[in-house]
């Protein structure tokens, strides 16, 4: 009689390493959105940044904090769709050591579902507002979209590290580290 044993492969990063490597996503984001925005709306930039920084700093910080919480909720929402126990398998919280909100799936997901939940905050809070700002000229929306596209750099980095894995492979969000465990 043969027994199938489960093998595991950790794909994790330290906080410093994740932050440093996620910076690699800033340059392409700046090129993709920054250059077109500057070409289209360069007259709005200085006035908009002045208002954003000096006149509305409290509102700007409120949007950043709220956006960070919503970012994690979006992870949880999309992962919960594919988990048998839904949101009961999701843990949302704040790491007070790093002053960072987090979302953790306590149950394994198919990699294709893990990827979807991983990419959606960057799309919904980053890319979509950035694209809309190209049409409206809103510096505030552009800054919000750019910030949250870059804030999703760690998520994009994890997706890059998982690029060679098969879409139906089971993935377990790592309970203590930045990353996941591949279940084979």
> What pLDDT digit, counting tens, does each position of 79-105 carry?
999 999 999 999 998 888 777 888 999
Residue 96: exposed, middle, or buried by beta-carbon count in 10 A (0-12, 13-18, 19+)? exposed
Say if residues 75 and 121 touch (Cβ distance below 8 Å): yes
pLDDT score of 67? 92
Which residue from 14, 130, 151 is spatially nearest to 72, judged by alpha carbons?
151
d(CA 74, CA 76): 5
pLDDT score of 113? 96
Regions in the chain scoring below 70 on pLDDT: 1-7, 44-56
pLDDT score of 6? 61
d(CA 93, CA 101): 6
Residue 76: exposed, middle, or buried by beta-carbon count in 10 A (0-12, 13-18, 19+)? buried
Dihedral sign from CA coordinates of 156, 148, 146, 17: negative
pLDDT score of 71? 96
d(CA 168, CA 25): 26
pTM of this prediction? 0.86
The pair of three-digit structure tokens given for residue 139, joined into one six-digit string? 């510096």
Say if residues 171 and 8 touch (Cβ distance below 8 Å): no
Helix 111-121 vs helix 153-161: angle between axes, to the nearest 10 degrees?
160
Beta partners for 109?
Answer: 171
């Amino acid at each position: 009689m043969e027994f199938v044993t489960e093998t595991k492969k950790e794909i994790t990063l330290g906080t410093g390493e994740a932050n440093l490597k996620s910076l690699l996503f800033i340059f392409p984001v700046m090129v993709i959105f920054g250059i077109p925005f500057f070409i289209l709306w360069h007259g709005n930039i200085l006035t908009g940044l002045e208002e954003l920084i000096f006149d509305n700093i409290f509102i700007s910080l409120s949007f950043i904090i709220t956006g960070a919480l919503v970012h994690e909720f979006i992870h949880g929402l999309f992962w919960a769709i594919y988990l048998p126990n839904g949101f009961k398998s999701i843990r949302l919280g704040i790491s007070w050591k790093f002053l960072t909100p987090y979302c953790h799936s306590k149950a394994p997901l198919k990699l294709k579902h893990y990827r979807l939940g991983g990419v959606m905050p960057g799309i919904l809070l980053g890319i979509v507002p950035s694209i809309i700002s190209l049409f409206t000229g809103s510096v505030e929306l552009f800054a919000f979209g750019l910030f949250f596209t870059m804030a999703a750099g760690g998520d994009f980095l994890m997706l890059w590290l998982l690029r060679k894995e098969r879409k139906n492979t089971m993935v377990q969000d790592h309970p203590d580290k930045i990353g996941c465990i591949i279940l084979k």
